Chains A and B, each alone.
Chain A
Amino acid sequence: MAVTLLCLAGVFLSAYLWLYKLGKIGTLACGSGGCETVQLSPYARFMGVEVSLIGLVGYVVLLVIALLSLQPRFAAAGWPVQLLAALSGAAVLFAVYLTYLELFVIHAICRWCVTSAVIITLVFALSLIELRRRPAPGGG
């Protein structure tokens, strides 16, 4: 359930940043001013796609899987948690890359991006704990 709540928070956080890039939200609520520097840098796009949009789609996918894993009919199956761990693991690597860019390339920190990195790390950690607690049937 905690994973589901975290994914929901991630959905809205990335939606907020994406709406900003679309020009739908005037300025970002960001005390340091680093958010706009990061959001307006060329690194706010990854392979031509807005990073915030990638985040939004990723969190929605994770949220759907997290909701499925709560359903009694999927509770016995291990795959939703395995998928959650695999996808959030990949997302953590992506967050590490983005945090590296913020610290060493753009030289500005966007607190919303840091919050997202913390959320995805928690999702990954909690998925791993769940995976270890209840291994998939037939799995190692």
Chain B
Amino acid sequence: MAESPSSLNRFYVVLGVLAAVAVGALLYLMNRSSTPTVPANVKVEASDTAGFRGYLLGSATAPVEVIEYADYQCPACQSFDVVEFPYVKERLIQTGRVRWVYRDFPLDQPHKWTRLSAHSAACANEQGKYWEQHSSLYEAQPEWSVSNDAGDMFRDFAQTNGMDVAKYDACMSSLRYAGRIQASSDEGLRLGVNSTPSFVIGGRLYTGVQPYDRLRALVDSLAPVKE
């Protein structure tokens, strides 16, 4: 491999130019998108779930707890959230009869942005804006589902929902909730969840969209309203 000094110098110049082009290409790829990838199947640490058992809505003393396992990119979950959930919220949660627990159950295939959307909601939770971001994600699901860069849209929701965007960005790029999302998914699997939305009510699993009337009937049977 002994080369003459001049040919070696020429080679170093070529090598330097190639390295510079490659560094430029990587920087371009990094700046092209503000969308990180939230990895699946990460190892869940104890700290990922410490003190966290889902996103809660409603009174801690409500007689019935409903645990919803859902995926922000699942159309049936969107339909439930947009059509049924407003009634559930107004008539069952706000009246103190039901405590709602929302848990992530990301269906990675075929939902490309499911974990990113769940992570976006987790970052919103840090700023006390979980339910605002939750609603924004479901309302605009048809648009971001087909987007090539959903992360930018989630960031816009964060801004619209009054979050500190710098803090939100730092949270998103840290991917600190990947383990929590995985833990939630693992727990759903343990409970027998295999589709979304699924609901655990009074220890039983109900799959598919549950209309408000059916949910109310279930709640009535578990905790009858005192006459």
Contact = CB atoms under 8 A, between A and B. Distances in A.
A25 interface: yes
B149 interface: yes
B2 A23 contact: no
- Max chain B C-beta neighbours (<10 A), residue from A5, A19, A25, A76: A25
B22 A69 contact: no
A88 B77 CA distance: 50
Given A23-B173, A26-B149, A40-B40, A4 B15 contact: yes
B36 A40 contact: no
Size bracket, chain B contacts: 20 to 34
Given A8-B22, A41-B41, A25 B33 contact: yes
Interface in A61-103: 69-70, 72, 75-76, 81
- Max chain A C-beta neighbours (<10 A), residue from B32, B37, B39, B151: B37
B1 A23 contact: no
Interface in A1-49: 1, 4-5, 8, 12, 15-16, 19-21, 23-27, 36, 40-42
Size bracket, chain A contacts: 20 to 34
Contacts of A5: 15, 18
Contacts of B175: 23
Given A4-B15, A24-B36, A25-B30, A72 B2 contact: yes
A23 B11 contact: no
Contacts of A70: 1, 3, 8, 11
Interface of B: 1-3, 5, 8, 11, 15, 18-19, 22-23, 25-26, 29-30, 32-33, 35-41, 108, 149, 151, 173, 175
